Amino acid sequence: MEQLIGTGVALVTPFRADLSVDVPALERVVEHNIQGGVDYLVILGTTAESATLSQAEKQLVVDVVVRTNAGRLPLVLGVGGNNTMAVAHELKTLDLSDFDAILSVSPYYNKPTQEGIYQHFKMLAEASPLPIILYNVPSRTGSNMLPETTLRLAYEFSNIVGIKEACGDMVQIDNIIKNKPEEFMVISGDDATALPTVLAGGAGVISVLGQGLPGLFSDMIRWGLEGQVKEAYAIHHKLSSLMQLIFEEGNPAGIKSIFESLGVSTATVRLPLVEASPSLKEKIGVWLKSLDKAQV
């Protein structure tokens, strides 16, 4: 899966003031990222507010991104949930012809055991016509997929090709990198651990901030993969305060505030999320004004 090494971005779903999907803004977000140099696009992840999109809206988002991308970058589709049989059915029935891989989150709310997490992904691996990237994000799911479970899945299923690891724990991430099959990709799911993960032997990142500043973020990851540590860390340190700012009031409120400042889309989100506060927007705007426009 060499096409998924580097910088992937978890695309937002822009909304109009009436909370409908803003198609022209979504087209601008996609173009912004393609022109900025990211390596692949992730559709309908957490950052897309997929939990509050109807099936018709999800299909609209997919159609718009696929059409705008026009085959230029690899595409990954988020397909996950806490009803294992329903997700497996979805994987068997969806038209996945435009996609390179599936990103599937560890089951949330149910709080399964490690064996339950293993059996969940076993069923999905047996159902999916595409390679699967596991997604571990304990802060959202309520359970941590431990390295033993990740490695068990990696060794037993050839179509489980990687993990988006958002545990925030470099010891856990390093454990997976050290013991994984050679071709299995460890992808950072946290912007703050993106560069450390790459330098430890990871394959890249699926980023939130990267879609706002695709040129700068992609350069950081590219230099990290090439072993240009000093240059990569110079960007990491430049971006570190913004990484904190955009998650200060939750995701995607922060990244949507960046897009508003850049004139790409509004900062509107759907309840139960709320838009970034005026004070946070001001801080993000000040940060962006200090940046050379060529680096966005």
- Percentages helix, strand, coil for the chain (3-state, rounded to 5) are 50, 15, 35
**The one catalytic residue among 135, 180, 256, 283:** 135
For 55, 87, 108, the CA distances from 84, given in Å and listed in that order, are: 18, 5, 11
Q: Please calculate the CA angle 199-162-240 and round it to the nearest 5 degrees.
A: 40
Residue whose structure tokens are 């037993």: 156
CB burial of residue 51 (10 Å; 0-12, 13-18, 19+): exposed
CA distance 171 to 59: 38
Can 164 be counted among the known catalytic residues?
yes
Q: CA 168, CA 135: separation in Å to the nearest integer?
A: 13
CA dist 229 → 32, 39, 177, 198 (Å): 27, 20, 19, 10
Residue 283 annotated in active site: no
4 and 183 in contact (C-beta within 8 Å)?
no
Cis previous bond, 252, omega within 30: yes
Point out the catalytic residue in the list 58, 164, 281, 283: 164
Provide the annotated active-site residues. Answer: 135, 164
